[in-house]
Amino acid sequence: MANTMPPFHLAIPVDNLEASRKFYRDILELTEGRSSDHWVDFDFFGHQLVIHLKEINSEEKESSNPVDGKNVPIPHFGLVLDMQTFKEFSEKLIQKNLTFIIEPYIRFKGQVGEQATMFFKDPAGNALEFKAFADMTQLFAK
């Protein structure tokens, strides 16, 4: 039997459905699936991401954790890509003048868990991280 990972489903709140729809569709170039006037499904690299219209409390304090000298936003979500896909994807985002929280770089260089990473926010303030390992065996290495 093939060892395949099932796709995850993640639903996130957004405060402007159309602005967020344009971001995920046009900036990240995700394929749009089903939708209503309150939510939109996207193919998130083979996983199901759903943006749901919801009033977001702007008084919530943002939090972060220091990692490799950078303030990593908490919470965040994203994907682990292969290195070539990461490079191509990050170059597209740079060309589209996306504002990064943490610009694409190599984290933990020369250490266990060395990885490429980048962080940015969608129009609703949801933080996303995309990362890649040159050696995928390092994904869960200690």
34 and 7 together in one domain = yes
Nearest Cα to Cα of residue 48 among 21, 12, 23? 12
The CATH number assigned to the domain holding 126 equals 3.10.180.10
Residue 141 burial class via C-beta count within 10 angstroms: exposed 0-12, middle 13-18, buried 19 and up: exposed
What pLDDT is attached to residue 87?
97
Return the structure tokens found at 109: 């260089």
Q: Which SS3 state, helix, strand or coil, does residue 26 take?
A: helix
pLDDT one digit per residue (tens) for the chain, 142 residues: 455 778 899 999 999 999 999 999 999 999 999 898 899 999 999 999 999 998 766 666 678 888 888 989 888 999 999 999 999 999 999 999 999 999 999 999 998 889 999 999 999 999 999 999 988 888 877 7
87 and 136 together in one domain = yes
The string of DSSP codes covering 57-72 is -TTSPPEEEEETTEEE
Domain presence at residue 60 = no
36 and 80 together in one domain = no
107 and 129 together in one domain = yes
What pLDDT is attached to residue 67?
87
Neighbours of 128 (CB within 10 A): 20
Residue 39 burial class via C-beta count within 10 angstroms: exposed 0-12, middle 13-18, buried 19 and up: middle
Count the domains in the chain. 2
Q: For residue 84, what are the domain limits?
A: 66-142
CB 117 within 8 A of CB 77: no
45 and 3 together in one domain = yes
